[in-house]
Chain A
Amino acid sequence: MDPNGGKARPEDLLLQAFRQGKPGAFDAIVLAHQDRVYSFCARMLSDRTEAMDVAQEVFLSAYRNLGGFREEASLSTWLLKIAANRCLNRIRQRSSLAAREVVFPDSAERGEPPYQPPAPEEGRPDRIAENREMARILEKALGRIDPDSRWLLLLSDVEGFTYEEVAAMAGIPVGTVKSRLHRARMALRKILAPVV
Chain B
Amino acid sequence: MDCERVQDLLSDYLEDSLEESVRAGMHAHLQDCLRCRAAKEGLEETLMLLRGLPPADAPPDLLDGIRRGIAREKAPAAPLWKRLFLPAHVKIPLEAAAAVLLFLLVYGAQKEEAPKILTPPPSARMEASSAAEAGKKMEAAEPAEKKARKAALPPQSGPRREAASQDHAGPQSPQPASQAPPALPAVPAQLASTAGEKIEPPPVAAMPQNMEPPSAAGKMSRVARPVPSGGAVTIQVAGENRPGLEARIAAAAMRLGGSPQGMPDRAGAPGAESEADAMIVHLPADSAKPFLAELSKMGTLPAEGLHGWNDLPAGLSREVAAYTVRIRVR
Encoded as 1 (CB less than 8 Å from any A CB) or 0, chain B from 67 to 103 comes to: 1011001000000000000000000000000000000
Encoded as 1 (CB less than 8 Å from any A CB) or 0, chain B from 26 to 51 comes to: 00000000000001001101111111
Q: Which of A19-54 contact B (CB under 8 A)?
A: 26-27, 30-31, 34-40, 42-43, 48, 52
CA distance A122 to B40 in the complex (A): 27
Query: Is B11's CB within 8 Å of the partner chain A?
Result: yes
Query: Is B293's CB within 8 Å of the partner chain A?
Result: no
Shortest C-beta distance, A61 to chain B (Å), equals 10
Query: Is B144's CB within 8 Å of the partner chain A?
Result: no
Residues of B within 8 A of A125 (CB): 48, 51-52
Query: Is A135's CB within 8 Å of the partner chain B?
Result: yes
Q: How many residues of A contact B (CB 8 A)?
A: 52
* Of the residues B39, B45, B54, B57, contact of A121 by C-beta under 8 Å: B54
Count chain A CB atoms within 10 A of each CB in B8, B50, B66 and give the residue with the most. Answer: B50
Residues of A within 8 A of B46 (CB): 185, 188-189, 192, 196
* Of the residues A27, A34, A59, A182, contact of B11 by C-beta under 8 Å: A182
Q: Are A196 and B58 in contact (CB under 8 A)?
A: no
Query: Is B65's CB within 8 Å of the partner chain A?
Result: yes
CA distance A64 to B45 in the complex (A): 41
Q: Are B48 and A63 in contact (CB under 8 A)?
A: no
Q: Are B66 and A56 in contact (CB under 8 A)?
A: yes
Q: Are B51 and A157 in contact (CB under 8 A)?
A: yes
Query: Is B53's CB within 8 Å of the partner chain A?
Result: yes
Q: Are A186 and B43 in contact (CB under 8 A)?
A: yes
Encoded as 1 (CB less than 8 Å from any B CB) or 0, chain A from 146 to 170 comes to: 0000000100011010000000000
Query: Is B62's CB within 8 Å of the partner chain A?
Result: yes
Q: Number of residue pairs across A and B with beta carbons under 8 Å?
A: 126
Given A59-B66, A124-B54, A129-B54, A196 contacting B43 (CB threshold 8 A): no
Residues of B within 8 A of A157 (CB): 47, 50-51
User: Could you say which of A1-9, A93-101, A110-118 contacts chain B?
Assistant: A110-118
Q: Are B62 and A56 in contact (CB under 8 A)?
A: yes
CA distance A162 to B126 in the complex (A): 99
Query: Is B56's CB within 8 Å of the partner chain A?
Result: yes
CA distance A37 to B55 in the complex (A): 9
Q: Are B52 and A129 in contact (CB under 8 A)?
A: yes
Q: Are B52 and A126 in contact (CB under 8 A)?
A: yes
Given A189-B42, A189-B46, A52 contacting B65 (CB threshold 8 A): yes
Given A30-B63, A130-B52, A181 contacting B70 (CB threshold 8 A): no
Nearest A residue to B64, CB-CB? A56
CA distance A26 to B63 in the complex (A): 10
Query: Is B215's CB within 8 Å of the partner chain A?
Result: no
Query: Is B233's CB within 8 Å of the partner chain A?
Result: no
Q: Are A129 and B49 in contact (CB under 8 A)?
A: yes
Shortest C-beta distance, A68 to chain B (Å), equals 16
Residues of B within 8 A of A138 (CB): 49-50, 53
Query: Is A55's CB within 8 Å of the partner chain B?
Result: yes
* Of the residues B51, B58, B70, contact of A35 by C-beta under 8 Å: B58
Using a CB–CB distance below 8 Å, which chain A residues touch chain B? 26-27, 30-31, 34-40, 42-43, 48, 52, 55-56, 59-60, 63-64, 115-118, 120-121, 124-130, 134-135, 138-139, 153, 157-158, 160, 178, 181-182, 185-186, 188-189, 192-193, 196
Q: Could you pull out 28 A-B pairs where Cβ atoms are within 8 angstroms? A: A30-B66, A34-B63, A35-B56, A38-B57, A38-B59, A39-B55, A39-B58, A52-B59, A64-B73, A115-B56, A124-B52, A124-B54, A125-B51, A126-B51, A129-B53, A134-B49, A135-B53, A138-B50, A139-B53, A158-B53, A182-B8, A182-B10, A185-B11, A186-B7, A188-B50, A189-B43, A192-B49, A196-B45
Using a CB–CB distance below 8 Å, which chain B residues touch chain A? 7-8, 10-12, 39, 42-43, 45-59, 62-63, 65-67, 69-70, 73
